[in-house]
Structure 1
Amino acid sequence: MDQLERTVELLRDTAGPELLGVYVHGSAVLGGLAPASDLDVLAVTRRSLGDCQRRSLVKGLLEISGLTSEVRPVEVTVVVESEVRPWRFPPTADLLYGEWLRADYERGRIPQPGPLPDLALVITMVLTGDRPLTGPRPAEVLAPVPHSDLVRASVAGIPELLEELDEDTRNVLLTLARIWTTLATGEIKAKDAAADWALAHLPHRHRPVLEHARNLYLTCHYQDETWSSELRSQVRPHVEAVLTQINDLRRRPQ
């Protein structure tokens, strides 16, 4: 049984009849999984999970998800249908599991409901990908997200993202490229496709670090990320250039 099948089975066992559907999104529906891609899953339920269900779900995901060449990171977002249909911003996630929070989970932290602007992007990808793992087609349980809220969601996480620049350089650069691409084109692209678009619109002096991040994404696993001192020195000027483009687009009328 592969990771997606195990994840769906875990969600079924945890939520029981309250589970409406499970949907794949992210790289799997935007062009295909790269070596460093997460398995991104959205689960839609009728009601909020209880504390025992949350503990059970986190415990199971800690066993399914990982950061090795054999085991991909699994990111699971659970949302109650009534919290996102009809749509409003900011949306509320009932539970979020991601490998970047593993240490917290292992210390006993149980994720609780809270605002999650990124759900605007997740739901848009789910509707576009139209890939149910179980349950009805996503358009039957999810409402479309207005472009203005895609913009709001895209930029909401930038401050937190920048805090991870030194530790998670590849992902931060590719995510900023995706944000710029989404604001400019209205489309959510795969990270490598977003990097291609951004590279075509960047001055030559700011391209090398993004080219390197893209190549790492396409060819290496998380633990294989390496940066030369020369490239490291170019990271922050590149980020400033991309942020300038993002801020210019934010100021334009919708």
Structure 2
Amino acid sequence: MRRVEQVMGFPVSLRIDDGDASDEAADAVFGWLREVDARFSPFKPDSEVSRLDRGELEPHELSPDLVEVLDLCEDYRVATRGAFQVRLPGRGLDPCAMVKGWSVQRAADLLTARGAARFCLNAGGDVASVGGPWRVGVRHPEQADRLCQVLEIADGAVATSARYERGDHIVDGRTGRPATGLLSMTVVAASLTEADATATAAFAMGPEGIEWAAAREGCEVFAVDAEHRVFRTPGLPVAA
């Protein structure tokens, strides 16, 4: 079973290879992601995030999901010494850098709970998978029609932060300026929550983020810096 929908501003594709894959499971995945977009988007004035940013909600009124997301954001802010930020000067609250990976991992967990044993969920190039092997290409940071690496994963996740889709959109919270020290940062981890947040946080840190991400337990890294130097951790699951 295969399905593609546009959610949260990017294409989300789901492939389930189980023989008894159901449309109901796919409906649940995309329904959850649409719910996340409605509740957590800083671009929707009636979302929970927007209401919190305007001071219309007290901390005790927040949903457990938003509390979890904000706690994760704070963990990464502390771990990066402020490079990862969801409140930048002159801007409103924007937890999107955490919400994407967290919500897609939740969707993958939902599929597993419904009995799916072999699937690949791709959200704008970030992948959560079960029952592989699955081959995941890492796009060349400067040539859209080329790959610079192919990975092979079974149960796990791959996320990439780069400048090629949205330009200099990742900001180093320590300086308030766009992060330009890296061209691409890819992280492989057990969950997409970890992979996506670590890739974004490391990209915000610049070149020092490569060593930081590589030192995180369970993370493998493929990175290209602004000088076109390539870095790979020894355990990176490169496809044969």
TM range (shorter): under 0.3
TM-score by length of 2: 0.27
Query: Which is richer in helix?
Result: 1
